[in-house]
Structure 1
Amino acid sequence: MFSRITSTFYSRIYRILHFRARRVAAKQVKVKLERFEPVHQVEAEYLSFSIDISVLVGGFWWEGSNGVKRGLGTLRVPPIELHSKKLGRLVQALGPAYLRIGGSEADKIHYFEQPEHEPDAIVLTRTMWDNLHKFVQRNQLKLVFTFKYGLFERSLHGSWQGSEVQKLLEYSKQHNYQIDVCELGNELNAYWAFHGLSAQPGGKNLAQDYATFARTVKSYLPYTKVMGPGSAYWPKLGESLAPMFNLTKKFLGYLTFELDIVSWHYYPFQSKRSPVRTRTATLRNMLSPTSYDYFAKYTEKLNFWRQLHQPNAQFWTGETGSAQCGGQPELSDRFISCFWWAEQLGNGAVSGHKVMIRQSLIGGDYGLINRLTLKPRPDYWLSWVWGQLMGTQVYRVSSNHPRVRAYCHAKANSAEKTLMLINMGNFEVNVEPDNFRSIGTGFVLTAKSIDAKKIMINGVKPKFNKGKVTLDDFPQQHFNGRLPAFSISFWIC
């Protein structure tokens, strides 16, 4: 208790001295459009999100949990209520999007029936599955589902049969339910940590199991895309305990069929719940330009393997959030979290990702929406502005200051572009644009403090009015070349 109080005290002192102190002089920063043609194109559903299967069915989750048990929170939550009209409005405002149902308990779950020998087992009931599909259809989403790999001994690896999976697929086919993308198992390179060493598959055996899985899925739902392997990458570590569990390269090399999507999972930070931390989520780390280097490093490596072994597959970030293990309280749910999210969205698009799936839509400190109150958090509003303005055509832009990041998109068949400028510094910026025809009006995201719970767009707190919110709700702001300290802005050019 004493150590926690001491840590909180020093954390608050640091915030006062460093982030609320008098700001330094303005910086002159050059932002250049490198090419007049787009370098990449993302999906319309590029910014997508997840609902963890623990939240969907009522498993172990993070709210109120101070620690971790076998990769999960220590408290069990009730199943989410998907019929909420307020939740529906919040979801529809972020569309179009994929909704991924996955997470650590995806491999522990049972479909439809509870086993007699597991009285505390979590079960995806037929009613839950029906309600999920109604939710997806009602809100014009596309479904990504993580099927259970199954907890079995090493001797069975490479011989996956998936009888429970077939039961779920058969039911879905009978009810004309669409699963747009599927994957087998959650973070299979870290299976040893969650389920024991004997459960850990190797790359060759997993490739064999994936081939069986793909044939099984397409025999029921022929238009469903198959995604994998969804390996977890850690800052500084990469795939955990290298080289023993470097699964991705071997898996892709042994595959005997064409994968539709190559995916990976990445969290730039770990919350203080995490028993192992390579980069803890702190104010300093979350605003440090060096914190973002590993995302680019791993992206380059994975893209090389994809092009070598699966050149026709798309490249997705299948799961990402600010900090592992539910997010960091008082940081992941605050304005500061917008900076990593804006940077990763921009970086991911320009580096070849087609889709970026945010963990999570709702639940945990990293949820876009507070699960208990259904109030949108700062990251939600950043995501909403991105969806309104950043199109699918991706341009390459450079900045000559490490704390000022620049990204540019355009909507299909539009002459207008949107320039996103991220100022992670405690200083104003005078922008010198280069190669941009002109910069007109825009939307500037700021807050009263870097760790504020509320965000402002052009000086106004965003909110839904009679169930609706539009960009016209905010006063017009013209580009004058100046960026406020700690701000994220979107400019029409």
Structure 2
Amino acid sequence: MRLPPVFAKLSSHLRILGLLPTNKTKLHQANVTLVSNEVVHQVAPEYLSFAIDISVVVGGYWWEGSQGVRKGLGTLRVPPLDLRNKKLDRLVQALGQSYVRVGGSEADKIFYFNSPTDNEHALVLTKTMWDQLHQFIQRNQLKFVFTCKYGLFSRKEHGDWQGDEVQQLLQYSIDQGYQIDVCELGNELNAYWAFHGVRSQPGGKNLAQDYATFAEQIKCYYPQVKIMGPGSAYWPKLGETLAPLSNLTKKFLAALSFNIDIIDWHYYPFQSKRSPLRTRTANLRTLLSPKSFSDFDKYSAKLKAWRDTYQPQAEFWTGETGSAQCGGQPQLSDRFASCFWWADQLGRGAAHGQKVMIRQSLIGGDYGMINRLTTKPRPDYWVSWLWVRLMGQGVFEVKTNVPRVRVYCHQHPDGNHKTLMLINLINRPVEIELTGFAELQQAFSVTANKITSKKVLINGIKPRFKKGKVRLEDFQVKTQTNPEIPALSINFWCFS
């Protein structure tokens, strides 16, 4: 008996998600081909980097427990993050070389060091907080990206940014010997209309003028610092949203009077149910659909073309990304289901020639790689942990004939091997036919007992720190003569 098309489609989705039984005896097959042994792109050593939102650092409005959103923020205020936590240090150090970006929606509201006399509820970055942040950066040998305050002022003042507060912060940092590696001006300036009101929304040309002033000021204090921008927020299906009000990236790049070092953008492939504007809601179906990943390709290509036209010397970064806008989706962004978009976007960003991918966030919110309340790593922390150990800087072109089997290939960090990452979005094992690869020497497979699990397994073993350390050798290393990948899994295969 044939099912009506609508029920047949629903049944197919349910089987993919593991909610209906499948025929386990019949394997899918996928051909995976290494197109060339020539490296096509080179990512930065800090390619996999992360953010700590300034709201978490200083104790602003954040997402844990919030049921909704108010002007782009959570509805509950949190205590400042304790950056002296030794367990947090261990988790950070295990992720290797990284940038840490401190920015976010409240970066443009914050006051540096001193609270205004007429606002008892003002958000203040104190000298003690700034000192502890830099101690955290130095202790863990991180590089630092800081979002400087653009400020909330009316449209008629755009193009005449002064930055007195920023200069005070920079002078103190110089006096203390603190390192800043990358600076940007303002957070998601194309979305000011949504967060701070239409009157605060800058245009591309005026923003370019303010950026020139900003870059000149920064270089007076830190001549070697890299300037990054504009960090526009992109929505799935909509891009920069409301044209012409918020489509500022192209105009900004065309109007810049100096050579910017880094062009970046912010992208979330999904929205949480907190978000008032949802173009692709995070749920099990969308999290595991290849169609959900295609907008990243579309916008990356557009931004890269603008970079090549207006600022060809600039590096291209994803300056902020997470599973779902507005803090992540509760009971999904912190589960195994959220590992798949993250692994895929890491691979796709590198394949598009992006130098750095900054994850929102390291800690805090449902999308944090580390639970802020317990300091325990979540499933996609372990995908990140494997990535930095197995996927090096050189990127190779690789292809497959099965859309639900996603494949990416990098040099191994040791320089002597290649690592193939295979993401299986099918709820069934897939037999892999390889072309162009040498002998398979090691294989690591990330799986879980169910798609909504809070825990993952690496080669069937639950990863955990033992005496503060965790090593690849803690997991059984297996090779296969007839290689296949498990159902709904993320795999790293190392070849000689």
SS at match of 2:422: strand
What does residue 106 of structure 2 align with? 105
1:483 equivalent among 479, 482, 485? 485
**How many angstroms apart in 2 are the aligned matches of 1:139 and 1:184?**
25
SS at match of 2:94: helix
What does residue 325 of structure 1 align with? 326
- Give the counterpart letter for 2:406 in structure 1: R
Per-residue deviation, 1:17: 9.7
Cα 1:18–1:262, aligned 2, differ >3 Å: closer, same or farther? closer
Contact 2:412–2:494 (CA<8 Å) still a contact in 1? no
Per-residue deviation, 1:426: 1.1
Contact 2:322–2:367 (CA<8 Å) still a contact in 1? yes
Q: Structure 1 length as normaliser, TM-score?
A: 0.96
What does residue 341 of structure 1 align with? 342
**How many angstroms apart in 1 are the aligned matches of 2:457 and 2:197?**
46
Answering whether residue 216 of structure 2 is matched by residue 215 of structure 1, we say yes
**How many angstroms apart in 1 are the aligned matches of 2:328 and 2:414?**
38
What does residue 261 of structure 1 align with? 262
Query: How do 1:31-430 residues align onto structure 2 when only pairs under 5 Å count?
Result: 31-411=32-412, 414-430=415-431
What does residue 436 of structure 2 align with? 435
**How many angstroms apart in 2 are the aligned matches of 1:16 and 1:80?**
41
SS at match of 2:246: coil
Per-residue deviation, 1:476: 1.5
Q: Aligned-pair RMSD on alpha carbons?
A: 1.3
- Give the counterpart letter for 1:415 in structure 2: N
- Give the counterpart letter for 2:469 in structure 1: K
SS at match of 1:427: coil
Question: Where do 5+ consecutive residues of structure 1 fail to align?
Answer: 1-13
Q: Structure 2 length as normaliser, TM-score?
A: 0.95
SS at match of 2:429: strand
Contact 2:39–2:394 (CA<8 Å) still a contact in 1? yes
Per-residue deviation, 1:95: 1.6
SS at match of 2:122: coil
**Greater Cα shift, 56-65 or 419-428:** 419-428
Contact 1:183–1:227 (CA<8 Å) still a contact in 2? yes
- Give the counterpart letter for 2:493 in structure 1: W
Per-residue deviation, 1:230: 0.1
**How many angstroms apart in 1 are the aligned matches of 2:244 and 2:434?**
45
Cα 1:109–1:342, aligned 2, differ >3 Å: closer, same or farther? same
Per-residue deviation, 1:23: 2.4
- Give the counterpart letter for 1:184 in structure 2: L
Answering whether residue 22 of structure 2 is matched by residue 23 of structure 1, we say yes
Q: Tell me the alpha carbon deviations over residues 87-135 of structure 1, each in whole angstroms, 9 at most, x when there is no partner.
A: 0000000021000000000000000000011110100000000000000
SS at match of 1:217: helix
What does residue 4 of structure 1 align with? none
Contact 2:15–2:22 (CA<8 Å) still a contact in 1? no
Q: How many residues align?
A: 481
SS at match of 1:19: coil
**How many angstroms apart in 2 are the aligned matches of 1:171 and 1:82?**
20
Per-residue deviation, 1:160: 0.2
Contact 2:34–2:437 (CA<8 Å) still a contact in 1? yes
SS at match of 1:407: strand
Per-residue deviation, 1:275: 0.6
- Give the counterpart letter for 2:254 in structure 1: G
Q: Tell me the alpha carbon deviations over residues 172-218 of structure 1, each in whole angstroms, 9 at most, x when there is no partner.
A: 11111111000000000001111111111101000000000000000
Q: Give 4+ residue runs of structure 1 displaced > 4 Å after superposition.
A: 14-18
Per-residue deviation, 1:21: 2.5
- Give the counterpart letter for 1:474 in structure 2: F
Q: Tell me the alpha carbon deviations over residues 277-321 of structure 1, each in whole angstroms, 9 at most, x when there is no partner.
A: 000000000100100110000000000000101100000000000
Q: Tell me the alpha carbon deviations over residues 249-281 of structure 1, each in whole angstroms, 9 at most, x when there is no partner.
A: 000000000000000000000000001100000
**How many angstroms apart in 1 are the aligned matches of 2:35 and 2:244?**
38
Per-residue deviation, 1:481: 1.2
What does residue 7 of structure 2 align with? none
Contact 1:20–1:449 (CA<8 Å) still a contact in 2? no
Per-residue deviation, 1:237: 0.2
Contact 1:41–1:394 (CA<8 Å) still a contact in 2? yes
Cα 1:341–1:173, aligned 2, differ >3 Å: closer, same or farther? same
- Identical aligned pairs, as a percentage? 64
Question: Where do 5+ consecutive residues of structure 2 fail to align?
Answer: 1-12
**How many angstroms apart in 1 are the aligned matches of 2:16 and 2:297?**
31
**How many angstroms apart in 2 are the aligned matches of 1:279 and 1:295?**
13
